[in-house]
Amino acid sequence: MKKEILMKGKLHIKLLTFALFAISTIVYGQTNPYVFKGNVTDNATEQPIAGASVFIENTNVGSVTDFDGNYSFAASLKAGDYTIVVSYLGFSTKKVKVTTSGDVIETNVSLNEDLLSLDEVVITGNTVGVNKRTLGNAISTVSAEDLVNNGATSVDQAISGKITGALVQQNSGDPAGGISIRLRGPSTVLGNSDPLYIVDGIIISNSSAELVDLGGNTQNRLADINPNDVERIEIIKGAAAAAIYGSRASNGVVQIFTKKGKSGDPRFSFSTNVKVNELRKKIDYNTTELAWVNAGDRNNLETVPVERYDLQESFFGTGYGTENYFSVSGGTDKTTYYLSASQLDNEGIIVNSDFKRIGFKANISQKAFDWLTIKGGFNYIRSNSDDIPNGGISNPYGAITGFLFSQNSVNPNPDESGVYPVTSLLVPRTNPLEAVNRFKFGQKTNRFITSIALDANITEKLSASYTLGIDYYNQSATAFIPIKNTSPNPNGYARRSDINNFQYNSDLNLSYKTALSKVINSTTTLGGSWQYEEFDRIGITADGLPPIVETAESGSILAQGESRSQISYWGSFVQQSFSYKDKLYVNGAVRMDGASTFGKDERNQLYAKASLSYIMSEEDYWINTFGDTFNVFKIRGSWGQAGNLTALSAFQRFTVLSPGAINGSTSLIPSTQQGDLNIAPERQEEIEFGFDAGFLSNRLGLEFTYYKQRVSELLLPRELSPSTGFSSRIENIGNLENEGIEILLRGTPIKTPSFSWDVTATYSRNENVVTKVAGGGQFALGGSFSTNYVIEGEALGVFYRQYYARNPDGTLLLDANGYPQTEKGNTSTGEIGRDGNGQPVGSALSKVIGDPNPEWFGSLINEFAFKDFELRIQFDAVQGYDIFNWNRRLMDNRLFGGGYNYGQELAGNRLKNLGQAQANIFEEFVEDASFVKLRELAISYNLRSPFKNINNIEISLVGRNLVSWDSYSGWDPEINTAGQSNGVRGFDFAGVPIPKTYQLGINVSF
């Protein structure tokens, strides 16, 4: 396989060499040399715009402006008239007619703000840039200004609430806790619904491997990317985009573009921040200073006095952090550079937990010839975390786990000899104070992200680009629990686990632009990609440790294992685009994709896309009729197909054999899951249409999108007859759908030289339903304690468990002692059963009792600027979804008794042992998780040119997650203990709540 990889890479290089040098003999022919130069400014503020794109229309010849807004580039052209096109993110593109009357053509341009960003140049095929107005599918952009000074420490945190159709959920409040991003809902069951992440053309891993059990605090590797290094983020949703990027992008694409150098004198930037992280709220607990004499006897109400302790105080604390960032950039007309170094040290709200990250970033661009530019990027990141396990899913040890199982009448502090008392009296669990003081869990990651890219303007119309990107990281995790502890491992516990993850992508694209007539332009793009990824994982677990020793190899080995994986992806595409009078745009593409994980006869699949975009507001009839009200009106539509290549692991199509022993002889034993050599990728088809409208001299902008996505050939486990010798087999036996709308509203109610007010509102609604499960079946998703299910006709991951027995009028059906009961009946038919006294009879019944998928989510952002002061306020809302509160299920039970409701039983305000009666009525613990959060509150002040050689000093004060308006009885409804799981959502069990954060920072530019 590796030989095949090398051959594919060499093929791309040979194709590139042919494109660059075989054609270079006709680069510019008999033409005259000209120099184009000038300055680009903001029309409202008259400030220079750095990084604006300036090029000659219908050619690939151009440049970008430097720090002072100046541009200059040379071109060999025939004498005549040309059009200079100037564009920049957030501004309307301007076209200026020029004539080659001399050797130097100087043109100064001022740009106007563009709320809808229709003239923004976006990247839709790794390195192929197009004007946003030409696209028939939705695309969103987040600028560098929106990614910093918001209290976020990672890119995925920073984009929360800033994009329609993107549900960003922080699964854990741990300093390195993972984030889940869903673009237009889940599109697979067994696979991954995360979008494809691309950094400067490099496809990067965003895996969330849990090497040691931390109870849902799994890191995702996007935590390695520093938001300060990012210039902008482009997010493409829908299968139409995947037809260009390949089926790995069937869940959408998140393209991250890092900062590049600009020609001019060196520019320096230094920023430093101080952070404070605090628990936003405590949960109510048992404060009743009584205990039952006989807790198991409902009729014995005799109590004795006890002292109660707030065990939350034993493991929650205030975390402090610092972040420093330094960058330098500059260059000449031929060479530009951007260098940065960063350091983050951020403590969590769980005592003795933290996340540290240092990084070094370099981007260099060299113009080797007038027609060839070479770009190189290098990023090294070292991260280190001190973790506190919270267990609950795979292992029973941990701080919050211990809190849930503890009797809070026991003082958690150690005695004079340093021995911690057992606080969980009936079930072996950990004293939470001991967990944070004695347990040592941690992870270290070394990561390299590097690339080289060649951009060639072979002729005025033909361009080529090649990118080779590599992403490699080593993640190492250790766990240590000392001997003589209160956990279920009193003899000590140690684990070591490592992953080496390597992947690369090799992409070649050719683009040909030409004018077919005075009103029709054509762009043809050809591309090919080869991607490869492999990882090696090894782990060892032991208990029975000798005193002092922390390494697993010194104890009694409980488990040891090793796994390896290699996957190859390949694809090629052709896309054709036509524009008519720069108003009507038609695009079509065909792509072939393949992956080594599927059967040889099924792995290569063909997908297509088509889209249409029409700028109606530039027609004379529109201008004459609606022009005074509707300044801009664009309609768009697209249709596209894609696959999903994430549902299978590298060798899952085979029947896996495991080594064993029979009568002392070596043997191979097949697993319980049968392989399928003819398994095929899932297929996705999506249609979307919408419009973009600008009103009132572009003071108000509106984007609307409707989409419907169908996924067929869904990979699901089919239950097999025991006579086959297997329990299940993965087959293409399911379907699901996503349907929704996305609305974005932007407005500028006030815009004066000294004061401005900008408003952005988003609203997204998605309805997900699993439309087919073979045989009308259903099954529980792993890692949910058989609570989250896949059920035909329901949304993915609904809660399906026992529920209350009720009277015909809907009130609870109580037993003779006044306690609620589980509904019972015939489990085959679902028919409710009653005995002669009207009491439930039969087996416990289950039904859908909740849905962790929100009905809608949105945000409201207000930004004010008064002279040198700026104020930003962002509210995020997620509404109409449920969460299963496993924490309350334990704490309300008499076996543990740490919850508020159990205290009310002791106080005589509730029936004794009511919590225990409710424990298996799962409906009781499904709560409304809807919330509105004050996500960001930031105020800043700019000192412009306060000293000689100092351009600007910005002082900022930021708050994040300060307030949450919700009715959830737990710490925070924005949590998922199952981490980045695709189907197991709304799962709160011993998870770290998201802290509120305060940040004071200063940024100096010189």
Q: What is the pLDDT of residues 373-403, one digit of tens each?
A: 999 999 999 999 999 988 667 778 889 999 9
| Mean pLDDT value of segment 611-615 | 93
Quick check: helix, strand or coil at residue 629? coil
Q: Which residue has the tokens 């004071």?
A: 1000
Mean pLDDT across 825-849: 94
Q: Looking at the domain assignment, is residue 545 inside a domain?
A: yes
**How confident is residue 25, by pLDDT bands cut at 50, 70 and 90?**
very low
Distance CA 253, CA 603 (A): 22
- Model confidence at 18: pLDDT above 50: no
- The mean predicted confidence, pLDDT, of the chain is 89
Q: Of 604-608, 863-867, 905-909, which gets the smallest average pLDDT?
A: 604-608
Kindly indicate the confidence band of residue 121, based on its pLDDT and cuts at 50, 70 and 90: low
First to last CA, the chain: 51
> Residue 124 pLDDT more than 70?
no
- Residues in contact with 723: Cβ distance below 8 Å, sequence separation at least 6, in sequence order: none
CA angle 982, 206, 571 (to 5 degrees): 90
Q: Tell me the backbone φ, ψ of residue 471, rounded to 5 degrees.
A: -130, 115
**What is residue 776's predicted lDDT score, i.e. its pLDDT?**
73
Q: Are 496 and 552 in contact (CB under 8 A)?
A: yes
Over residues 458-478, the pLDDT tens digits come to: 988 899 999 999 999 999 999
DSSP string computed for 828-843: TT--B-B-TTS-B-SE
pLDDT at residue 30 tops 70: no
Instruction: Please report, for residues 186, 188, 248, 739, 778, the alpha-carbon distance to residue 647 in angstroms, rounded to integers and kept in the order given.
Output: 12, 7, 11, 22, 18
Q: Is pLDDT above 50 for 7?
A: no
pLDDT at 421 over 70: yes
Single out the residue of 252, 250, 218, 237 nearest to residue 980, CA to CA: 218
Write down the pLDDT at residue 363: 96
The SS3 call for residue 249 is helix
Within-domain flag for 82 = no
Structure tokens at 28: 């510019």
Tokens representing residue 527 in the block = 């591309």
Tokens 């959920």 — which residue?
A: 169
Is residue 354 within 8 A of residue 348, CB to CB? The reply is: yes
CA–CA dist 436, 387 (Å, integer): 9
Percent of the chain with pLDDT over 90: 58
Q: How far apart, in whole angstroms, are the C-alpha atoms of residue 747 and residue 529?
A: 41
**Average of pLDDT values for 93-120?**
81
- The enclosing domain of 796 has a CATH number of 2.40.170.20
Nearest to 598 by CA among 545, 654, 552: 654
**Is the separation of the CB atoms in 331 and 344 below 8 Å?**
no
Residue 523 is assigned to a structural domain of this protein: yes
Q: Is residue 13 very low, low, confident or very high in pLDDT (cuts 50, 70, 90)?
A: very low
- Cα distances from 495 to residues 332, 438, 442, 555, in angstroms, run 53, 15, 11, 10
Mean pLDDT within 235-264: 80
pLDDT given at position 145: 87
* Residue 918 included in any domain: no
Domain membership of residue 698 as a residue range? 140-279+316-398+439-649+673-802+849-881+929-1005
DSSP string, 513-571: EEESSSSEEEEEEEEEEEEEEEEEEEEEEEESPPSS---GGGSEEEEEEEEEEEEEEEE
Closest listed residue to residue 194, CA positions, set 216, 213, 222, 214: 222
Per-residue confidence band for 44, with pLDDT thresholds at 50, 70 and 90: confident
Residues 862-895: pLDDT tens digits? 999 999 999 999 999 999 999 999 999 999 999 9
What pLDDT shows up at residue 824? 96
What b-and-e string marks burial along 381-392, b requiring 16 or more CB atoms within 10 Å of the CB?
bebbbbbbbbbb
- Token digits of residue 137: 């599918």
The residue ranges of DSSP E strands in 798-914, in sequence order, are 798-802, 824-825, 843-844, 846-850, 856-866, 869-879, 882-885
Give the helix/strand (H/E) hosting 750.
Answer: strand 728-751
Res 52: pLDDT = 86
CA distance 58 to 72: 18
Per-residue confidence (pLDDT) for residue 60, from 0 to 100: 67
- Mean per-residue pLDDT for 409-437? 94
The answer to whether 216 touches 976, Cβ cutoff 8 Å, is yes
Per-residue pLDDT at 125: 55
Reported as a pLDDT band with limits 50, 70 and 90, residue 241 is low
Q: Round to whole Å and give the CA distance between 107 and 101.
A: 13
Q: Reduced to 3 states, what is the DSSP secondary structure of residue 452?
A: strand
Q: Mean pLDDT: which of 574-583, 588-597, 727-736, 871-880 is highest?
A: 871-880
Distance CA 978, CA 49 (A): 45
What pLDDT is recorded for position 90? 73
What percent of the chain is modeled with pLDDT above 70? 94
Query: What pLDDT, on the 0 to 100 scale, is given for residue 839?
Result: 95
**Number of domains present in the structure of the chain:** 1
> Tens of pLDDT along 631-645?
889 999 999 888 888
Order the strands of the 230-236 sheet from edge to edge. Answer: 139-143, 230-236, 253-258, 196-199, 202-203
Average pLDDT over residues 947-960: 92
Give pLDDT, residue 885.
Answer: 96
Whether residue 244 contacts residue 609, with contact meaning beta carbons closer than 8 Å, is answered with yes
> Are 271 and 1002 within 8 A, CB to CB?
yes
Q: What are phi and psi of 505, to 5 degrees?
A: -135, 140
Alpha-carbon gap, residue 364 to 657, rounded angstroms: 49
- The pLDDT, as a whole number, for residue 19 is 43
Cα–Cα dist 491/546, whole Å: 8
Q: pLDDT tens for residues 172-214? A: 898 888 888 899 999 888 888 888 899 998 999 888 888 888 8
Residue 265 in this model has a pLDDT that exceeds 60: yes
Which whole number is the average pLDDT over 349-365? Answer: 96
Report in angstroms the alpha-carbon separations of 961 from 519, 807, 911. Answer: 52, 42, 37
Cα–Cα distance measured from residue 329 to residue 263, given in angstroms and rounded to the nearest whole number: 8
pLDDT tens readout for residues 129-170: 677 777 888 888 888 888 888 888 888 889 999 999 999 988
User: Which letter does DSSP use for residue 22 in this model?
Assistant: I
Q: Is residue 422 pLDDT above 70, yes or no?
A: yes
The residue with greater pLDDT, 119 or 137, is: 137
pLDDT of residue 795: 95
pLDDT at residue number 239: 65
297 located within any domain: no
The helix or strand, by DSSP H or E, that contains position 61, with its residue range, turns out to be: none
From residue 152, alpha-carbon distances to 83, 190, 461, 1004 in Å are 42, 30, 43, 20
Residue 787 resides in a domain: yes
Residues 6+ apart with CB under 8 A from 199: 225, 256, 257, 258, 379, 449, 469
